[in-house]
Amino acid sequence: MASKQLFTDSDIADEAVRATCDDASICKRFATSKGYWTDLYVQYFVRQVGERKAPEINRGYYGRVKGMNLLIDAFLKKTQCDCQVVNLGAGLDTTFWRLKVENIMPKKFFEVDFPMIVARKIHHIKTKPPLSKPLIETHSTDSLLLDCHSLDSDRYCIIGADLRDFPTLEEKLKKFQINPELPTLFLSECVLVYMTTEQSSKLVHWVADTFPTAMFINYEQVNMNDRFGEIMIENLQRRQCNLAGVDLCQSLDSQKERFLSAGWKSVNALDMMTVYSMLPQEDVARIERLEFLDEKELLQQLLQHYCICWAVKDKLNLGLSQIGF
């Protein structure tokens, strides 16, 4: 009798995608330990600093974190924090805690990820006072709504859901009182690329149709049709990571078209080499002194194969289309 297959190819692929959450957190932990930027909370999700990362990786993550933060903070400023944020595929991201420290919190901060990752994050929050205290301080009652795959407080909510299972995602966001009338910022970092083009388009369409005043910031691969891009794809495939949505990562134009065709009014995209050159140069000079970089060309190639794309709908005329670098 043939033995039953325990794990399907899609199970293995999903596990490989979940592993990228750890990769990102470990890289951020190392870069912050070297002084690239300050993150007071990543240590509570990743205990060990881990093995050394190459300087070009550290600079790449610096550009990613600083670029995303610049746009996030600009949105919060334009809306005067009278808004909500939804981080799709948030992993072990610490943005909520940074915003609390800097006193620029939105009305509510939502995170969505695979239930398995959410369960881990909730465990960290429950067992580590530096993570739980900011939630309790911003909550009006004695008890938080908590189970193994969701946690809900007045200002922070984490939801276990598969972004590809669209009806369930929508239902859970409604259950935890997402408000379509509030200006809403959606974040995704190397998330949409693991969904098929149809799946990610459906998600981007739903956001555009549901939230009249919104911004969507997507950090992702770009220029993937050259040899360097092919090598990146091959490396990920060796780890069972299938970039199901890579067709939309061919160029900055294809990245923008995803949003334009879904009804977003204003869309911009820059590769990370350009973003890196537009960050405050005094701080860039500081981090470039932290480690000697032998392979400047490799850093350039790396940064040219990632981008930030941001799309806007602005029914309330808050000036969201003015946000940029």
Chain segment 41-79, per-residue pLDDT in tens: 999 999 888 888 899 999 999 999 999 999 999 999 999
User: Distance (Å, rounded) from C-alpha 316 to C-alpha 67?
Assistant: 25
Percent of the chain with pLDDT over 90: 81
CB-based contact 116:148 (threshold 8 Å): no
Residue 197 above 60 pLDDT? yes
Overall pTM > 0.85:
yes
163-191 confidence digits (pLDDT tens): 999 889 999 999 999 999 999 999 999 99
Cα torsion angle, 231, 237, 241, 245, sign: positive
- How many residues appear in the chain? 325
Homologous superfamily assigned to 12-320: Vaccinia Virus protein VP39 (3.40.50.150)
Cα separation, 237 vs 216, whole angstroms: 28
Residues at the binding site are 64, 89, 162-163, 189
Q: What is the pLDDT of residue 16?
A: 61
Give me the mean pLDDT over the 299-317 stretch.
97
- The widest CA-to-CA distance across the chain, in whole angstroms, is 68
> Do residues 276 and 303 make contact, with C-beta atoms less than 8 angstroms apart?
yes
C-alpha 127 chain-centroid distance = 24
Tens-digit pLDDT profile for residues 242-264: 888 999 999 999 999 999 999 99
Q: Return the domain boundaries, the chain.
A: 12-320
Mean pLDDT, to the nearest integer, of 199-213? 96
What is the pLDDT confidence band of residue 5, given thresholds at 50, 70 and 90? very low
| Confidence (pLDDT) at 239 | 81
Token pair belonging to 93: 């991201």
pLDDT on residue 54: 92
* Residue (of 271, 278, 267, 268) closest to 305 by Cα position: 271
For 135-162, what is each residue's pLDDT tens digit? 988 888 766 767 778 999 999 999 999 9
Give rounded-to-5 percent helix, strand, coil for the chain. Answer: 50, 15, 35
Binding positions for S-adenosyl-L-methionine are 64, 89, 162-163, 189
Say what the pLDDT of residue 51 is.
Answer: 85
Residue 10 has pLDDT above 70, yes or no: no
pLDDT at 144: 72
Dump pLDDT digits (tens) for 98-124: 999 999 999 999 999 999 999 999 999
With 70 as the cut, is the pLDDT of residue 7 above it? no
Looking at residue 138, its pLDDT comes to: 86
CB 180 within 8 A of CB 288: no
| pLDDT over 90 at 15, yes or no | no
Nearest to 262 by CA among 199, 323, 316: 199
The pLDDT of residue 14 is 61
- Other beta carbons less than 10 A from residue 48's beta carbon: 10
